[in-house]
Structures are given as C-alpha cells and as structure tokens.
Structure 1
Amino acid sequence: IISKTPVLQLQLHCVDDPSQICSVDISEQKLNSVKPEGFQVFENIAYIDASINSLSLGSFSCFPSLRELNLSLNRIQNLDLDSADFHHLQVLNLSYNSLSPESLISLSGLSSLKVLHLTGNDLHHLPPNLASSDQDPTEMSSEQERKHFESLEVLILDDNKLSSVVFYSLVNLKRLKHLNLQKNLICEIPCLQMTRGLTPEQISDEEEGKCGLHN
C-alpha cells in the first residue's frame, strides 16, 4: 500500500487544502499497490514520480488531472487500464519494465498521450496493429477509428531488441515527430512505401538476407 496517506501528504507539503498539491514523488518507496480511498480529493495532481516500486498503471486511475506519470523500474509485465481514467495523461514513462509487445495496444486509447518512454523493455518487435485496428473499418464507429495513439508525438524505444521490421508497426503514427531507436538491432531503414501491403513476416524474411551489421 502507499505509505504516504492523504493526511501525511498534506503535512509533507505544508498545506491545508489538498487541491494545492500539484505533484507527488513516491519513488523508491517499495510500494506494490495504491488504495484509491481518500486520494480523490487531490484533484489537481498533475505529476507523479512513482519510479522504482512495484506499482501498476491502473493504480493511478484515481487522479483525474494527471498529466505526467513516471512508472519506470516497476517490474510491469502487462497493462490493465481503462483509457477513460487517464483522459489528460500526456507523458508516460514505462522504461525498464518487462512489457510484452501485445500489452502496448492497451495504451493506444490514451487520447491525450504525446510522449511515451519504452526504453529497456527487451522488446523484440511491436504489434503490427500498433497504430491501427484489426477491425473492418466499415464496422467501426468514428470514435473507434481515431483511438489509436492519435496524439503521440514522441516515442522513445532505445535499448531494446527491435529490428527494421519495427517501421512497419510505426508507419501509421501520423503525428509522430521524434523517434528514438538507438541501441536496437536495426541495420537499415526500409522504404515505407514498399512496406505497404507486406506482412511483418515478409519484411522479416527480406531482412535476413540484407542485415550484416547491428547497431
């Protein structure tokens, strides 16, 4: 449980009104869960550093104004969340966890997310539908169509084990401005026009004959 109760948070920040607290640092506290009771009164908390604990992303659904969350080094393997609980979240740091490629799809509905850090998650690939849906477009509502990283501008993927096939998964991130792929196993940047219509498996087969050096 979170060791800093709402009352203690007020004392630590020398305030009487919980709405005056805008940021919280609970890093390195050996925490493994958050009890939402009582924390709803902290309606203006916009930044939380919860790094180096054992907490999940869903634990922070009780902070309605949350805009930036650091969950690096929390041993996270899967992501269980309701995107509606993180309507204002813009910056999310999930570096140095153990996320599976499939779990990243859970983040695609975070409509305000602009910056996503995924450094050091031992990712070998990304899901091919990272920025698009497997559903037939004719069967989707307009709301479903746009709920795939619609605001993402910065994606940090350094220190993983990704190959050139990763570009196939990223090609539909329309707002992406900055991409960090340092310290991966990428030997070339494919022509994205040529990847259209190809499956990730086909791209991987082509790479086998081309890649002689790794970054």
Structure 2
Amino acid sequence: MNTSTLPISKRWHQHLWIISILYFSLGLFNILFAWLGLICVAIPITTAMIKNDKSFCYLYCPRSKMLNLLGHRLKLSRYKAPPALFSYPWFRKGFMFLFFGSAFTLYCTTFIHIRGQSTQAILLSLWEFHLPWTVRSIYTIPSPLALFALSSYSAMLLSMILSIIMMILYKPRSWCTCCPMGTLTQSICMDNVKEQLKR
C-alpha cells in the first residue's frame, strides 16, 4: 500500500524517526537521557508478549523509520540484497547475545575501571555540552545508574552506526534482518511468526 495516499492519522508513524534524532541529541547534552532508550526496549517486548506479533518492528520502530528516510527518500541506499548469513537463526541469536553481552560487559568494565574516581566528572567531560540551562542532576545520581546510561547510549550509538552502514551497502532496512531486538521479539512470538510465514 502506498502510505503517501493515506490520511495523516493513518501514517503518523512514518515520522517516528524524529525520536531517534531526539534520543541521540538529548544524550549528548545529558547522558542521563539515555535512560529513555529503555522505552524502545520495553515497548516491543511488551507488544510481543501481549499481542504475540512484531507490530512494533513493522510499524513503530524509530530506527526503521530513520533507515527508510535515509535509504528510500534520500536515496542513500544501494538497494542490494544483504548476505543470507544475516538472516540465519544461529547468526541472529549469536549476534543478539553478543550485542547485549557487550553492553553489559562495557558497563562492568567501566565501573571497575573508574572505581574510586569521580564518575560524575568523567561523564560530564565526555558526554555533556556545558550549557547555561543544563540540569546538573547527574551529580545526585548514583554511579551505577549513570554508568548504565553511558553503556546504553554507547550500545545504541554503535548499533545506529552499524545499521546506517548496512543501509548504505544493502537495502534500507537490512539491519532488521539481524536486529537484536527483532530477534528477541521473534523468539517471544515464534509460533505466531511461523504461522505468518506459512500463509
């Protein structure tokens, strides 16, 4: 279906790419905004558990909207088929565990490395632009919480870079073939996905 012919109320989700821009922008001004990324983790998991489908991935994922914008509308994609390897179940699950495991490892390693130092000072020097209206709430946040925000932002930024590279080299939404969140939600509603594939 051509979404350009749909009423605005029917295609509002096409503009959800704005959320990706806001997330990374807010994270630069204050790393604590990286906690908002948990919303994009909780919603697809909850949707998969309740509705037993991947409607979030298909319709509401901000990253997929961003990739569509860059690849389709701005014509930055080569429109080449991604390697079949990306869609293999063992590769997708391995990449999912590697991705989430790397984020957790980054958190633990960073926490151990800066133990006994000023976490707030390090985060402020690395991750904040000093603006007159910046809220210095980070000073009152326990170090583990601040470091979790740093780890989350780093993982989200890395995955965004990888998805853009894949968008340029292959089809716009090639990242979706091996997206860790997509693999996780597919595992949750596997029975329903298999049924859809049979139709």
Common fold, TM-score beyond 0.5?
Answer: no
Q: Under a length normalisation based on structure 1, what TM-score does the superposition of the two structures give?
A: 0.23
Q: Which has the higher helix share?
A: 2
Q: Which has the higher strand share?
A: 1
Q: Under a length normalisation based on structure 2, what TM-score does the superposition of the two structures give?
A: 0.25
